[in-house]
Structure 1
Amino acid sequence: ATEATTKYFLIQTTAAAMILFAGTLNAWHSGQWTLSQPMSPVPTTLLTLAVMMKLGLAPTHAWYPEVLQGSTLTTALLISTWQKLAPLSFLYMTMSTLNPKMLLLIGLLSALFGGWAGLNQTQTRKIMAFSSIAHMGWLVTALSLNPNLTTITLLTYLAMTAATFLMLNTTTTKTLLDLSTMGTFTPIMQIMILFTMMSLGGLPPLTGFLPKWLIMKELVMMNMLPLSTALLLSSLPSLFFYVRMAYLTALTMAPTTINTKHKWRLEILSTTLLPTTLALTLLSLPLTPMLYNTT
């Protein structure tokens, strides 16, 4: 935990220092301290790198899986959800100063790296870290296309990631081996994790299909067929390790004896966060027209 804390502290302080340095350079060149107006190339580059580091976007993503692996599941949940809001808000405010083509490239790289690097992982926290990197790639792509679409993508990501981490924390699941033995103790949670993995993979009719569907629609309408094809192909490795986790969860069972104790009832939770996030993760696709028009 100490090593993960140190890594997180160094990365975040370095990124914050780069943002301050970009603001100082911009004030030197233009006489204005605001970062929401067009800037010269050097401050713009520094600002882009800083936001990439804070969000864990490729190719500045190496710290993120290591920090999550060294953290508890609750801390990993906070880093993957709550701690993303401030950098994303900052990115949204400075969107006019950044290069849209560069953001699209960063989004594609993040989706590719997040998918391929997660294939050989056996730790659930690292798998969720690479999943988060891939989803951040889709989110940055949505931000470059349509800010309204970004809101839907972000809300969907937060709901799916929160539901997954809460279930992993409830069942104390840290490896893929733990997933294969989960059905012996918590069969209901086993089914819920199965559907959540499918939603994270973006399979219809679950909620995870919603942002990918809308992003593909925007890309096709803008005649960005090569980028849309590349993004779809980059989602296949991610889908593979989600399906692998679902397979280990629902379709395999570790050897047990007839004397194995079955915990058919989990400890009663005092929070309604897990049921709420599960409902949003699995059942929000019919709300697509309302969400798209209101955001």
Structure 2
Amino acid sequence: MMSTPAAGLSDTEFERFREYFYNRTGIQFTTSKRYFVDKRIDACIRNSRHDRFASWFAELRVPDRPEMLQDLINQLTVNETYFLREDYQFDSMLSTVLPNVLAARGGVRRIVGPLKILSLPCSTGEEPYSIALRLLEEWDQIDHVDVEIHAADIDSAVLAKAAHATYGERSVQRVPKAWIRKYFSEVAPGYIQVAEDIRNAVTLHRVNICDTAAMRSFRDFDVIFCRNVLIYFDELSSRRAAENLYGALRPGGYLFLGHSESMSRISPIFTPARLPDGIVYQRPTGAK
């Protein structure tokens, strides 16, 4: 059977691609996403030296061409975000979670090592920089505790944007004007950049949350924000991601999910904790 020209995939090609992408990333596209997938793959084929799916897909699977897979991942992942999104969870972090973390680790004067926070996936950086701003402006212990903020994503293109940390008006519309004057500078009409000292305070990583081997480098985090990504996974990938997040947390550490996500539907290994502003999931104290 001849391959379809770069103008849409056949049903067989779509199924072959969907299985391959799922095996490499844990992300499974339903048939309702068919139009979106067709368009993005069509763009990748047209930007390559190929004119048909078959030859492009064959090269994609060559082990020494990881840049092709990364380009595809960048095309197919959704990265819509903005500063202070779902900020009621930041309220919970400041009012309840961080005090609990400090108490569990012996208090401000006895804490050993940094307090570690992870944003995964971090997209173009609005979430980890929001965390930094809320800590600087509103956490009364920020001058007494060493805090490390880490941010990770599977998409190399959005990580490059996060490193540059330049945003348009829509991204910062919820940021108080006083904070913008204090922590941002205009770099072009309609665009502002996060201050260098805050950019340097966030460490960026590229990782696939479903890659257990790669996730082993993430350890002893006190707080993880993993919002609005598990909804894209099937049951098996969601469970694997949950186990990797569990391994990344310090015993007693806290996990924030998106408002439409529930860990109780995925895995029983976390303990739900009801806070004044919602639910957070905790790795049990003493768990191994």
**Is TM > 0.5 for Structure 1 vs Structure 2?**
no
TM-score bucket of the superposed structures, by smaller chain = under 0.3
Structure having the larger proportion of residues in helix? 1
TM-score (norm 2): 0.24
Comparing both chains, which one has the higher relative contact order based on Cα–Cα distances under 8 Å and sequence gaps of 6 or more? 1
